[in-house]
Amino acid sequence: MPITEFLEKNAREYPDDICLVEINPEITEQRRVTWKEYELIEPTPRVSYRREITWRVFDEKANRFANLLLQRGIKKGDKVAILMMNGLEWLPIYFGILKTGALAVPLNFRYSAEEIEYCVNLAGAHFLVFENAFIGRVEEIADRISKGRLLIYVGEGCPGFAEDYNSYSANCSSRSPEIDLSDEEDAAIYFSSGTTGFPKAILHKHRSLVHACIVEQKHHNQQRDDIFLCIPPLYHTGAKMHWFGSLLSGSKAVLLKGTRPEFILDAVSKEKCTIVWLLVPWAQDVLEAVESGRIDLKEYRLSQWRLMHIGAQPVPRSLIKRWKKIFPDHAYDTNYGLSESIGPGCVHLGTENIHKVGAIGKAGYGWEVKIVDEERNRVLPGQVGELAVKGPGVMTCYYRDEAATAEVLRDGWLFTGDMAQEDEDGFIFLVDRKKDVIISGGENLYPVQIEDFIRKNEKVHDVAVIGLKDSRLGEIPAAIIQVREGEVLTEEEVRAFCMELPRYKRPRQIIFAPVPRNATGKIEKPKLREIYGANHLIADQNLA
């Protein structure tokens, strides 16, 4: 069945239950307080911006938008792009698109005007739905993309080149359009991170979305009384597919805007959240705030918080060791996935396997995995190869890119481009991205392994290892190190610390600088190579 039926089921069974809460701690609102017939003159407290909706309202909003689209001529197979920040409107708009039989096309909110235009054209989107934060970028390209394409604006102050979502959808029916949908129909186009050029368009069917719901609920056992704190952007498969566990269980979720440690802990405390998905940098920030004494956990209500899980990038063992010291009662899990495999869950550690922290785990519910060599034959345990996954959540194709599709899809297997190895117990450990492997003097160096080692240094906040061109060795490893706030770390200290590494794995260049990460927490290594590649072409031969 299509994923829209889960929403309709919740609206029938739990119509008045709160399903979504939006919190923005960086915006405050003045609340007018009255006592009997008198209005208080004294200044009233300012509180964080907060909104909420019920399952019934969620479904009604989705139906209104679906009927608006149908009135404007949308039909099965058409595409509607979404360019919005997280908020209460995002998911009803997404589900409204799906209810028409059209494809939802979420766009990265960090895209430039040029990238927005490229993605809208590649997907063949008929409509673009956007909000206030993107008026400038959309206006840059409006003359080019509005020809044969409707621009719909969500929010106050609709610009003249767009149509107003609020006024039009309010007059549409709140009843379901009742379009027949099947699991094998196309549902959504997501875009790859685009860290190696313009992003690829990833096509998924309804069965992929449904499988993501089932996998997430199986892995993390969401129940009706769970409350999920969602911080990452909803345009990305990771955030939305983790929320799908809440959709399947009919439980509440909190959309938090802001990643500061105090925002996260305050939301968990006040909203009584039980499940939190973090990216590595956010988890590090929470730990450092607690360890430094800047945050006192006694000021928060956290006893109901049962599960913290991390995905989107390799997780340092040292981070989880520190986390469990501060939060000993938390269950912990790691999730691995790609947009091409409908987000997280194709490989999964499991809360019962915390002794294997550092591994991404084993095949997730309903998935198969294997590790292969260059000829795509299985390798033995302990050998490094490319990770491949197979299951109902694998993408249909890279939309309008047969060559790229043929490179990664074969006989139902998705070849991920991630290098991995399997231990004697069948647990899979990520080694690195295939394209990020450094070949130095004929040796393959895997940056993640070096990064994991350097992160053990208590003065290191974050680190990225990249390959820089070298006249003698071809490439040499360079470590870009972001020092923890309030600490001082020298190049000599780093080199002494790295003496425990084999000689060929020791960084030949040490650079102290911020480590950039994208919205999903992944290190932006192409950006680092662009910044430092031209300035560090030749290694200091005295370090050889």
pLDDT of residue 281: 80
pLDDT of residue 378: 96
Q: Which two tokens stand for residue 138?
A: 């959309």
pLDDT of residue 264: 97
* % of the chain residues with pLDDT over 90: 69
Region of 382 please: left (phi>0), alpha (psi -120 to 50) or beta.
left
Residue 82 has pLDDT above 70, yes or no: yes
Encode pLDDT of 480-497 as tens digits.
999 998 899 999 999 999
Of 151-155, 246-250, 296-300, 443-447, the least confident: 443-447
Architecture of domain 437-543: 2-Layer Sandwich (3.30)
C-alpha 372/C-alpha 417 separation (Å) is: 11
C-alpha 499/C-alpha 542 separation (Å) is: 16
Residue 33 has pLDDT above 60, yes or no: no
Residue 512 CB contacts under 8 Å (≥ 6 apart), including other chains: 480, 481, 482, 483, 489, 491
Higher local confidence (pLDDT), 82 or 49: 82
pLDDT of residue 197: 59
Beta strands in 180-224 (DSSP E): 186-191, 201-205
Encode pLDDT of 177-235 as tens digits.
999 999 999 999 999 865 445 789 999 999 999 999 999 999 999 999 999 999 989 99
Q: Which two tokens stand for residue 319?
A: 């981070």
C-alpha 498/C-alpha 454 separation (Å) is: 7
Fold of 4-29+52-208: Rossmann fold (3.40.50)
Contact 10, 253 (CB under 8 A): no
C-alpha 163/C-alpha 79 separation (Å) is: 17
Q: Tokens 């906040």 belong to which residue?
A: 461
C-alpha 164/C-alpha 129 separation (Å) is: 10
Residue 130, helix vs strand vs coil: strand
pLDDT of residue 326: 96
Q: In the β-sheet with 163-164, what is the strand arrangement from edge to edge?
A: 163-164, 150-154, 127-131, 79-83, 103-106, 186-191, 201-205, 397-398
Reduced DSSP (H G I as helix, E B as strand, rest coil) percent helix, strand, coil of the chain, to 5: 35, 30, 35
Question: Which of the four pLDDT bands, split at 50, 70 and 90, describes residue 539?
Answer: very low
Residue 419, helix vs strand vs coil: strand
Q: Minimal CA–CA distance to 454: which of 463, 467, 445, 446?
A: 463
pLDDT of residue 376: 92
Encode pLDDT of 382-398 as tens digits.
999 999 999 999 999 99
Q: Per CATH, is 259-433 categorized as 3.40.50.720?
A: no
Residue 47 has pLDDT above 80, yes or no: no
Residue 54 has pLDDT above 80, yes or no: yes
Of 378-387, 462-471, 535-544, the least confident: 535-544
Q: What is the residue extent of each domain of the chain?
A: 4-29+52-208, 259-433, 437-543
Residue 56 has pLDDT above 50, yes or no: yes
Residue 19 has pLDDT above 80, yes or no: yes
Q: How deeply is 385 buried, as exposed, middle or buried, from its count of CB atoms within 10 A (0-12, 13-18, 19+)?
A: buried
pLDDT of residue 313: 66
The overall average pLDDT reported for the chain is: 89
Residue 472 has pLDDT above 70, yes or no: no
Encode pLDDT of 413-449 as tens digits.
999 988 899 999 999 998 877 778 787 866 678 788 8
pLDDT of residue 173: 95
* % of the chain residues with pLDDT over 70: 91
pLDDT of residue 291: 94
What does the chain come to in residues? 544
Report the interhelical angle of 280-291 vs 261-271 (nearest 10°).
90
Residue 101 has pLDDT above 90, yes or no: yes
C-alpha 102/C-alpha 94 separation (Å) is: 10
Question: Which of the four pLDDT bands, split at 50, 70 and 90, describes residue 28?
Answer: low
- Say yes or no: do domains 259-433 and 437-543 share a fold: no
Residue 296, helix vs strand vs coil: coil
Q: Minimal CA–CA distance to 344: which of 443, 415, 441, 240?
A: 240
In the chain, the N- to C-terminal Cα span, in Å, equals 61
